[in-house]
Amino acid sequence: MTSTLDGNQPVRRFSIALVLLGTGMPVFGIGYHLVFMRGLRQERQQLKKEGLIHPESKFPVSLTLTAIALLVIGLLAFVSMVFKSGPFF
């Protein structure tokens, strides 16, 4: 039995492109977040050394784990579409 996408390659390619775009966005977002947080930590350390801020602070929990989970789901969808196997095929 053939699926609808087997006979319609342009639709299949467009679908794969959308999944890649949706998977690429969290990659850039996670990267930007990590660089930004590193910069904040370095700035905080400098302010602590200069005695300008209180040394103890409670930072909120980062939502990076959610972005990583979405990235994994996107990668699984991509692999399923390209290799026609996996959890989303």
Question: Domain for residue 73, yes or no?
Answer: yes
Q: What's this model's pTM, rounded to 2 decimal places?
A: 0.65
What was the pLDDT predicted at 87?
Answer: 76
What was the pLDDT predicted at 4?
Answer: 55
Question: Domain for residue 5, yes or no?
Answer: no
Q: Name every residue whose Cβ is closer than 8 Å to that of residue 80 and which is 6 or more positions away in sequence.
A: 86, 87, 88, 89
C-alpha to C-alpha distance for 38 and 56, rounded to whole angstroms: 17
Residue 32: pLDDT band (50, 70, 90) is: very high
Question: Domain for residue 1, yes or no?
Answer: no
Question: Domain total for the chain?
Answer: 1
User: pLDDT tens digits for 35-85?
Assistant: 998 898 899 889 989 988 876 767 666 778 888 888 999 999 988 888 888
**Domain assignment of residue 40, given as a range:** 20-54+61-81
